[in-house]
Amino acid sequence: MSAEFDRLGHPEPGSLVGTPGVGIVGAGWIVRECHLPSYRTAGAEVVGISSRDAERCRSLAAEHGIRAFATWEEMVADPAIEVVDIAYPPDVQPQLIGEILAAEAGIRGILAQKPLASTLAEAEATVNACEERGVVLAVNQNMRWDHSIRALKRLLDEGRLGDPVMAQITMHARVGWMPYADDYARKGMLIMSVHHLDAFRFLFGEPQDVVASVRGAPGGDGADEMATYTLRYPDGLLAVGIDNTYPSLDQGIEWRVDGTRGTASGTLGWPDHPWGSASRLRYLATENPERVLEPKWTGRWFPDAFAATLAELLSALDSGRTPSISGRDNLATMALLEAAYAAAESGRAVEPVVRY
């Protein structure tokens, strides 16, 4: 594999040694299987963890040789912790961030989960509050660091696909909805499509408008477990998402981009059980279709991309720059999500109201 498609912005093993101390709020599956393993490989200085489930918190802390704090308040008061990594649901995350800010501890940065909030209004209030307190907020939109998506972005930036004409992401995957989402009126697009909507923004920028349709899954709770949406761009590009969470026997996530100078297609290995697989990419250039570019990776989206989002925040804190996944940038993703829901309800194309 050529070096250009090797690390793709992922931190080298051990490269985060000596960076600011991190405290994690939450001790669920995503922290156990993604956050902590990827942080350990990268050498991040995880000081400790807190959780509403004290027993699970103590067990996970002992497994990783870090401190189990009795409360998040006690954790953020520790002067060794400068960055808080949050793994909380979107309906309670804004309130938690607000309380962390009100604690007036020595916190310099917050890495929040996506979606940042349940609504755009809540997300905007959270971003404004962090900015007023001088705390750098980043949102863990980690699909941007999937190997195939990162490589696709490089192909686009280098003009090797020419002008993109049609793009698509198609997901057929059994989703184990977390209990916190049982009573959500918004579900599928809020929790799953937010990955793909943000990936389209990362790849192609801001769309002109969006059309969308949603439905519940058979045997589901009637929320929008399944969705289709089309982002329309001023230059004519159509970016289409199909998020099918019905329990299919044939699972997978595929993407494709056709441009005036070539075609790229690939897969995301996340749904491959039990632990996922490496994502794939295949690129064909119009002027030389016999030469096929197919880089191979050993890393996976889950858990490797999680260290990348933390590294992006830590790098931004070190250099004084704005992280590419800043809270303010994420308002455009939340605005697109809000527009998609409005489009599904109205049956009309809706223009995102971007506040950043």
Domain assignment present for residue 66? The answer is yes
Please report which residue ranges of the chain form alpha helices under DSSP H.
Answer: 29-30, 36-42, 54-64, 72-76, 93-102, 120-133, 147-157, 188, 194-204, 301-319, 327-346
Q: Write the pLDDT tens digit of every residue in 187-230.
A: 999 999 999 999 999 999 999 999 999 999 888 777 899 999 99
Please tell me whether residues 33 and 110 are part of one structural domain: yes
268 contacts: CB under 8 Å, gap ≥ 6: 143, 146, 148, 149, 253, 254, 255, 279, 301
- At 138 the three-state DSSP class reads strand
Residues 161 and 290 in one domain: yes
Tell me: do 124 and 219 sit in the same domain: no
Do 128 and 187 belong together in one domain? no
Mean pLDDT of the chain: 94
Q: Is the pLDDT of residue 356 over 80?
A: no
| Residue 328 belongs to some domain of the structure | no
Residue 105 pLDDT level (bands cut at 50, 70, 90): very high
More reliable by pLDDT, 41 or 270: 41
Mean pLDDT of 94-115: 97
Q: Is the pLDDT of residue 6 over 50?
A: yes
pLDDT surpasses 90 at 257: yes
Evaluate if residue 2 carries a pLDDT over 60: no
Is residue 5 within 8 Å of 151, Cβ to Cβ? yes
Considering only CA atoms, which of 169, 180, 174 is closest in space to residue 204? 169
Q: For residue 86, is pLDDT > 70?
A: yes
Percent of residues, the chain, with pLDDT higher than 70: 97
Question: Does 189 fall in a domain?
Answer: yes
Residue 352 in any domain: the answer is no
pLDDT of 7 higher than 90: no
Whether 90 and 148 map to the same domain: the answer is no
- In this prediction, residue 354 has a pLDDT band, given cuts at 50, 70 and 90, of confident
Does 266 lie in the same domain as 194?
A: yes
176 lies in some domain: yes
Q: Give residue 171's domain range.
A: 143-300+333-346
Whether the predicted pLDDT of 243 surpasses 80: yes
Residues 9 and 132 in one domain: yes
Torsion of CA 85, 91, 92, 93, to 10 degrees: 30
**For the chain, what percent of residues have pLDDT higher than 90?**
85
160 lies in the same domain as 237 = yes
Alpha carbon 111 to chain centroid, angstroms: 11
Lowest pLDDT segment from 69-73, 86-90, 174-178: 174-178
Same domain, 138 and 149: no
Q: Which tokens go with 107?
A: 């916190």
Q: For residue 312, is it left (φ>0), alpha (ψ between -120 and 50) or beta? A: alpha
Q: Residues 158-163: what's their mean pLDDT?
A: 97
Q: Is the pLDDT of residue 178 over 60?
A: yes
Q: Are residues 138 and 164 in the same domain?
A: no
294-334 pLDDT, tens digit per residue, is 999 999 999 999 999 999 999 999 999 999 999 999 999 99
The answer to whether the beta carbons of residues 266 and 253 sit under 8 Å apart is no
pLDDT for the residue 4: 66
Give the CATH number, domain containing residue 319: 3.40.50.720
For residue 1, the model assigns a pLDDT of 40
Number of domains in the chain: 2
Q: Give residue 238's identity as a one-letter amino acid code.
A: L
Helix (H) or strand (E) holding 298, with range, is none
Question: In terms of domains, do 295 and 148 share one?
Answer: yes
- At 119-136, the pLDDT tens digits run 999 999 999 999 999 999
Same domain flag for 293 and 172: yes
Q: Tokens 């704090």 appear where?
A: 69
Residue 49, strand partner residues: 24, 68
CATH number at residue 257: 3.30.360.10
